[in-house]
Structure 1
Amino acid sequence: MRFTISREKLQEGLSAVAASIPAKTTLPVLANILLETTERGIRLSGTDLDIAVSTEVAADVETPGAITIPAKKLQEIARELPPSPVKIAAAGEQRVTLECGRSRFKLLGLPKDEFPAFPAVRFDESWRIKSGDLQKLIQHTSFAVSTEESRPILNGVLWELRPERMRMVATNGHRLARMELPIASTGAATGDLIVPPKALDQIRRLFPAEEELEIARGDNHLGFRSPFTAVYTRLIEGPYPNYEQVIPKDNDKYAIADKGSLTSALKRMSVIASDQTHRIRLSFNAGMLKFSVQTPDLGEAADELPIRFEGDQLDIGFNASYLLEILRYMPTEEIRLTFKAPERAATVEPEGWSDPAKYLCLVMPLRLMD
């Protein structure tokens, strides 16, 4: 194998696959990147057996071939190279030479045969979705997934595909985010998929918003591809909880508040809130929202904010961190909060949003200490 590539193209390819290389592994070949020559240049691939990424970049190929090279060392070398063409050659199945300007490196690789095969996903039965639409769903929901290992099903994002719409839902049992987008019928099979957030992060990072993605499903894998890049991920298996049951339909009190002002007040109150519960009391009255926090070992704080509020007076406690996280992803300057009672779930939605997407977040209250 022998080819010449610009330093920039080499770095571009390496950064695309870097996130799929495990930091620690008992299988030496997983710490390597697979380099293969193609008709258009070279393809770089990496995997940790849960996620696999491959991308193609332009290069001048003299002799075709394939080999795996230690990913971390190749990245470190590429970062320090002078801005000159890089010549890479493999002699046999293990020795790789790399030349750039006056710099010369020799690395020990591993044969291509040792690299794991990518999952069997049939793209002839794929459906097509605009990358920007998918990224919008990911951005507004994946923050709410659980990171606890006790309920692995909640460590993924539920992706519901229907003929005319797609929806993503994520929750950790204390907060929930749900977004739905209308789509043109893709002709593909409908279904519910539970996708690891790490894979969705790669979709956001690697595919430009204007690109159309092909998406196909294998037995327990999902594949995403564009003309130059492909991402494969293992799906999380099992039934997702019935989240519709926890979304309140009868909240009869609502408040409309300025997102920026509410965020600032919550951040101020968080300074005094407990590091364990982050509990803050919110008291809603006609025209005014009062904040108060008392932490026995630390002190107390109070603040207030003008709002529009409809309903009977309400005192309710929340984890300020969860509320702040939800507010960060609200796409409008004003937000609408709805309530039923101090022990019932509250919802947060964008106010005055003209987008065709439907977006709702839910947060469970905390019991107030008198």
Structure 2
Amino acid sequence: MLNNVLNNNIIQIPIKKNMSFKVNTKNLLEALQKTVKVVPSRSTLPILGCSLFDFSNQKMILKATNLETSISESIEIVGEMPESPIAIPIGRLLEITNNISDKEIELNITEKQQLEIKTKTGSFSIMGQDHSEYPSDPIMNETQSIYIKTSTLFEIIDFTKNSTSKDELKPALQGVLLKIDGKSIVGVSTDGHRLSRIIIENEGLENQEQEIIIPTKFLTLLTSFVDKKENAEIEISKNHMSLSYKNTTIYSRIIKDNYPDYEKVIPLDNNKTFTTNKKDLINAIKRVSIFSNRSTKQITLDIGNQKTTISTEDSEQSAKGAETISSQFNNMDNLKIGFNSMFILDALNSIKSEQITMFLNGSLNAAILSETSPDKKMDKLVLLMPIRLND
């Protein structure tokens, strides 16, 4: 009788079994290709080399982060939904998925936290890591929203991305300053050697006044995921921001630093105007800069009333080059000014008009390139600091 009582009161402990489900190979590959963009190539934290696989409502959510920018991508699954997340090294998983021709693959998470991949002709396994070590998603409390046309956002990103700094000692300059009010949206970037500012009329979208510094990495990622023809809603909390589009959500920290007073460095007295064909100038600089010093990349513009000579000399390699193009200059005396060839090429390529006008003052003063759209709804300005000439 005692045995019967004991047998009737035995607690049945559920045995954790393998969880098997199927996923569309193309969808998995696209999700991995998106999330891998934020995975650091080198890190002291091995867990950051993984993608976190989480599961909810018959969907698999892939997450990746570099602690500053995070991506979350969801795809549908068919079969048993695993009860807990798993962290999988993303490099090898991406490589094998890219080489599978099957339309659908079967994934199985074992008791030993291995991910098994089964195809029609083979099987593969990758050892997972403890998901509890994976960084949690940013907390987005008390958010405010910015509504912006994605075409406007893309224009700002494209114009400002080259002027941001890579200097970790200047965090504010590693992002783009975005100023939004009811009338306009202003994007500004600078690395201390050049400055890009774009002002676009804020058409039909009501926003509270906002002024934030957005990391360049976040802005660059947006261009990979968001359709130009739609509007975007960016949610902003105290320390983070996010944007959701279809199955993708991108998170980023906000740069909490004071941006330099950029208006003070834009000269208002550059009354010497140098005008020429943009394509001719770009091609001449490209050819001449081949012979410039590899570290300084310095070229010199000797600007005259009817022609301009672009020249360079690399004394270390005994190399030099020069080329002359037609131009107009509203000053009787020639003006010699030096630039970093890469910086001036970036600036010229950001201007769309066939003819460019550069506003100058002297050989040691900042030069200005500017452009206003035909409908007057967009204004672009690039400031270039010159390089001091030796002669």
TM bracket, shorter-chain basis: over 0.9
1:302 and 2:322 equivalent?
Answer: yes
Cα displacement string for residues 113-163 of structure 1 (whole angstroms, at most 9, x for unaligned residues): 332211112486323222222121011101111122332322222122222
Q: Secondary structure at the match of 2:91?
A: helix
Aligned counterparts, 1:54-93, within 5 A: 54-65=72-83, 66-92=85-111
Which residue number in structure 1 is paired with residue 351 of structure 2?
330
In the alignment, what sits opposite 1:205? Answer: 224
Of 33, 45, 54, 1:36 maps to 54
Runs of 4+ aligned residues of structure 1 deviating over 6 Å after TM superposition are none
Deviation by residue 1:206-264 (Cα, 9 ceiling, x = unmatched): 22212332211122111111232111111222111111111111111112222211011
Number of the residue aligned with 1:266: 285
Identical columns (%): 28
Matched, 1:22 2:43: no
Paired amino acid for 2:129: L
Residue of structure 2 equivalent to 1:133: 152
Task: Check the 8 A contact 2:58/2:81 in 1, yes or no.
Answer: no
What CA distance in whole angstroms lies between the structure 2 residues aligned with 1:194 and 1:134? Answer: 14
Q: Which moved more, 1:159-168 or 1:6-15?
A: 159-168
Per-residue deviation, 1:353: 4.9
1:77 shift after superposition: 1.3
CA distance in 2, matches of 1:160, 1:11: 37
CA contact (8 A) 2:373 2:379 kept: no
- Bigger drift between 319-328 and 271-280 goes to 271-280
Q: Which residue of 1 aligns with 2:186?
A: 167
CA deviation after TM superposition for structure 1 residue 52, in Å: 0.5
1:217 aligns with 2:236: yes
Secondary structure of the residue aligned to 1:147 is coil
Deviation at 1:96, TM superposition (A): 2.0
The DSSP-based 3-state class of the residue aligned with 1:126 is strand
In 2: Cα distance, 1:40 partner to 1:180 partner: 44
CA RMSD in angstroms comes to 2.2
| Residue matched to 1:321 | 342
Question: In structure 1, what is the Cα distance between the partners aligned to 2:283 and 2:55?
Answer: 53
| Runs (5+) with no aligned partner, structure 1 | none
Mapped pair 1:193 → 2:212: yes
Which SS does the other structure have where 2:38 is aligned? coil
Q: Tell me by how many angstroms 1:44 deviates.
A: 1.2
Q: Secondary structure at the match of 1:23?
A: coil
Superposed CA offset, 1:278-332 (max 9, x none):
2222122222112232333424332111123323332222222210121222222
Q: Deviations over 1:183-228 (max 9, x none)?
A: 2364443222122211211111122212332211122111111232
Residues 123 and 215 in structure 1, CA contact (< 8 A), matched pair in contact too: no
- In structure 1, how many angstroms separate the alpha carbons of the residues matched to 2:82 and 2:181? 43
> Are residue 114 (structure 1) and residue 133 (structure 2) matched?
yes
Alpha carbons of structure 1 residues 93 and 193: separation in structure 2 relative to 1, 3 Å: farther
Selected match of 1:249 from 264, 268, 291: 268
- From the superposition, tell whether residues 310 and 120 of structure 1 become closer, same or farther in structure 2 (CA, over 3 Å): same
Which 10-residue stretch deviates more, 174-183 or 93-102? Answer: 93-102
| Displacement after TM superposition at 1:333 (Å) | 2.2
Structure of larger gyration radius: 2
In structure 2, the residue matched to 1:341 is 362
Please report how far the alpha carbon of residue 359 of structure 1 lies from its aligned counterpart in structure 2 after TM superposition. 0.9
Calculate the TM-score normalised by the size of structure 1: 0.92
Tell me how far apart the structure 1 counterparts of residues 76 and 229 of structure 2 sit (CA, whole Å). Answer: 21
Secondary structure (helix, strand or coil) at the match of 1:19 reads: helix
| Contact residue 181 and residue 358 of structure 1 kept, 8 A | yes
Higher mean C-alpha displacement, 109-118 vs 339-348: 109-118
Query: Residues 4-54 of structure 1, C-alpha deviation per residue, up to 9 Å, x if partnerless?
Result: 222111110000100111223333332211223344732211011111001
Is the CA contact 1:253–1:312 (under 8 Å) kept in the aligned structure 2? no
Q: Which structure 2 segments of 5+ residues have no match?
A: 1-18
Provide the rounded CA distance (Å) in 2 between the counterparts of 1:277 and 1:197: 25
Distance in structure 2 (CA, Å) of the matches to 1:12 and 1:150: 35
Instruction: Check 1:41–1:150 CA distance in 2 against 1; reply closer, same or farther (3 A cut).
Output: closer
2:389 counterpart residue number:
368
Q: In the alignment, is the contact (CA less than 8 A) between 1:332 and 1:352 conserved in 2?
A: no
Residue type at the aligned position of 1:331: K
Number of corresponding residues: 370
| Distance in 2 between residues matched to 1:162 and 1:352, nearest whole Å | 20
The reply on whether 1:311 has 2:322 as its aligned counterpart is no
The alpha carbon displacement at 1:351 in A equals: 7.1
- Check whether the contact 1:335–1:351 (CA below 8 A) recurs between aligned residues: no
